[in-house]
């Protein structure tokens, strides 16, 4: 509760973070990390969908990479092979992926807990194999995917795309935040709390589960499309079942039941994956596991809540020291 009170400190921190993040892609500042930041933005979008599903509604999914991959491939195929406008391709991909998740959601959510986890894991495996076998280019994937553009303004370098990706990422976070603090959000949390009680007060439990599953798929699909239009080249290995596990790791590290924590989770894992652990090769998964364990032991509600509490405690101590004569 303490840390929830919005003080001048909170606004100061937010303003500083905002200024910092606007300056990141400039070459004289942290320009070399622009691509990394783009990845963090994209991962955050996938992660926040999983947070809504797992953290708020209490439903496991080990197959989010499937939707991420579907978004990327739909977008790539439509815009490259069929010359559809990339924006339209992105929207069509999101609609198709969302509809797909909605339809498979009904049989899926007859399952609970571990069974649901296995079913979603299976979905991830199947989609990955389909992308390898049926996707254009097979295991090599496809290249030459067009960039997004508005009128004559093309997002043709990382500097521009940094702002594009983070616009989508922040929009996703704000929308999720609004959902969480609404009638819908309460219904989702009620399902997590007690399905029997949720039903007893008129919440259509099955339908809400399917809808939030579809929403998380739409987020993942949009992120996948952004990935495709960013990298211009995609291959199935990006969307393998291990990617789904990494998404879960991001969600857990950031804090399952915290929307803004998704950024922290995505950032931690992305920085490890693309910067700090490059020398580890395939051993990086061991380090993820270790970090996951440490976070679970010391900050079970994730980095965001954990750090906020730490900050709050530090502030309290600071205030007490100031009060002493």
Partner 1 sequence: MSESILETKGLSKAFGGLLALDKVDLAIEAGTITAIIGPNGAGKTTLFNLITGVYPASDGQILFQCTPLKDASSHKRAALGIARTFQNVLLFGNMTVLENIMTGQHTRSRYGFLGAALRFPRARREEEAISLNAMKYLNMVGLGIKAQHNALSLPLGQQKLLAIARALATEPKLLLLDEPGAGLNALEKRELSDLIRRIRETGISIVLVEHDMPLVMGLAEWVVVLDSGQKIAEGTAAQIQKDQRVISAYLGEEVE
CB 315, min distance to partner 1, A: 21
Cα 112 vs. chain centroid, distance in angstroms?
23
- Coil vs helix vs strand at 218: helix
CB 265, min distance to partner 1, A: 19
Contact between 99 and partner 1 by CB under 8 A: the answer reads no
Contact between 204 and partner 1 by CB under 8 A: the answer reads yes
Rounded Cα distance, 273 and 39, in Å: 11
Contact between 233 and partner 1 by CB under 8 A: the answer reads no
Residue 225 in tokens: 């499309």
- Coil vs helix vs strand at 147: coil
Contact between 192 and partner 1 by CB under 8 A: the answer reads yes
Taking alpha carbons only, the member of 34, 33, 57, 51 closest to residue 261 is 51
Sole window of 36-44, 110-118, 187-195, 275-283 interacting with partner 1 (rule: CB under 8 A): 187-195
Residue 201 in tokens: 């007060």
Among 193, 278, 313, 317, interactor with partner 1 by CB under 8 A: 193
Contact between 215 and partner 1 by CB under 8 A: the answer reads yes
What are the CA-CA distances from residue 304 to residues 247, 253, 275 (Å)? 16, 8, 21
Q: Which one-letter DSSP state was computed for residue 95? A: H
Rounded Cα distance, 116 and 138, in Å: 29
- Describe the crossing of helices 261-271 and 241-254 by its angle, rounded to 10 degrees: 130
Sole window of 33-41, 70-78, 127-135, 177-185 interacting with partner 1 (rule: CB under 8 A): 177-185
Sole window of 79-87, 198-206, 242-250, 282-290 interacting with partner 1 (rule: CB under 8 A): 198-206
CB 66 within 8 A of CB 101: no
Contact between 190 and partner 1 by CB under 8 A: the answer reads yes
Instruction: Please report, as residue ranges, which positions from 234 to 273 form the binding site for partner 1 (by CB under 8 A).
Output: 257
Sole window of 93-101, 126-134, 185-193, 293-301 interacting with partner 1 (rule: CB under 8 A): 185-193
Among 159, 182, 290, 294, interactor with partner 1 by CB under 8 A: 182
Q: Which helix (H) or strand (E) holds 153?
A: strand 153-154
Contact between 309 and partner 1 by CB under 8 A: the answer reads no
* Residue placing its CB nearer to partner 1 in the complex, 252 or 267: 252
CB 132, min distance to partner 1, A: 34
Taking alpha carbons only, the member of 177, 181, 59, 206 closest to residue 120 is 59
Residue 152 in tokens: 């004559």
Sole window of 104-112, 140-148, 178-186, 308-316 interacting with partner 1 (rule: CB under 8 A): 178-186
Contact between 202 and partner 1 by CB under 8 A: the answer reads yes
Rounded Cα distance, 306 and 218, in Å: 29
Contact between 183 and partner 1 by CB under 8 A: the answer reads yes
Q: Which spans in 51-157 are helix H? A: 64-76, 86-108, 113-134
Taking alpha carbons only, the member of 164, 223, 212, 151 closest to residue 186 is 212
Among 203, 220, 250, 263, interactor with partner 1 by CB under 8 A: 203
Q: How many residues bind partner 1 (CB under 8 A)?
A: 28
CB 248 within 8 A of CB 266: no
Binding mask 275-294 for partner 1 (x = CB under 8 A): --------------------
Sole window of 24-32, 67-75, 200-208, 241-249 interacting with partner 1 (rule: CB under 8 A): 200-208
**Positions that interact with partner 1 (CB under 8 A):** 1, 175, 178-179, 182-187, 189-190, 192-194, 196-205, 211, 215, 257
């Amino acid at each position: 509760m303490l840390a929830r009170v919005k003080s001048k400190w909170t606004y100061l921190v937010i303003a500083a973070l905002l200024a910092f993040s606007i300056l990141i892609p400039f070459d004289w500042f942290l320009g070399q990390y622009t691509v990394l930041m783009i990845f963090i933005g994209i991962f955050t979008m996938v992660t926040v969908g999983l947070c809504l599903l797992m953290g708020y509604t209490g439903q496991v999914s080990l197959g989010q990479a499937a939707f991420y991959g579907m978004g990327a491939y739909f977008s790539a195929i439509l815009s490259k092979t069929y010359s559809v406008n990339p924006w339209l391709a992105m929207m069509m991909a999101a609609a198709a992926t969302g509809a797909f998740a909605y339809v498979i959601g009904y049989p899926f959510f007859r399952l609970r807990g571990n069974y649901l986890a296995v079913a979603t894991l299976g979905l991830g495996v199947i989609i990955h194999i389909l992308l390898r076998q049926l996707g254009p280019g097979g295991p090599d994937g496809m290249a030459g995917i067009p960039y997004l553009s508005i009128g004559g303004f093309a997002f043709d370098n990382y500097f521009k795309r940094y702002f594009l990706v983070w616009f989508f990422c922040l929009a996703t976070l704000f929308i999720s935040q609004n959902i969480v603090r609404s009638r819908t959000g309460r219904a989702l949390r009620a399902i997590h709390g007690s399905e029997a009680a949720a039903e007893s007060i008129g919440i259509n439990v099955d339908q809400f589960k399917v809808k939030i599953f579809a929403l998380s798929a739409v987020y993942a699909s949009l992120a996948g499309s952004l990935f495709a239009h960013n990298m211009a080249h995609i291959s199935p290995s990006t969307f393998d079942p291990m990617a789904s596990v990494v998404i879960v790791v991001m969600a857990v590290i950031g804090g399952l039941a915290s929307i803004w924590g998704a950024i922290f989770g995505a950032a931690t894992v992305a920085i490890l994956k693309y910067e700090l652990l490059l020398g580890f090769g395939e051993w990086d998964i061991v380090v993820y596991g270790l970090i996951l364990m440490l976070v679970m032991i010391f900050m079970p509600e994730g980095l965001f809540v954990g750090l906020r509490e730490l900050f709050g405690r530090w502030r309290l101590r600071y205030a007490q020291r100031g009060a002493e004569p």
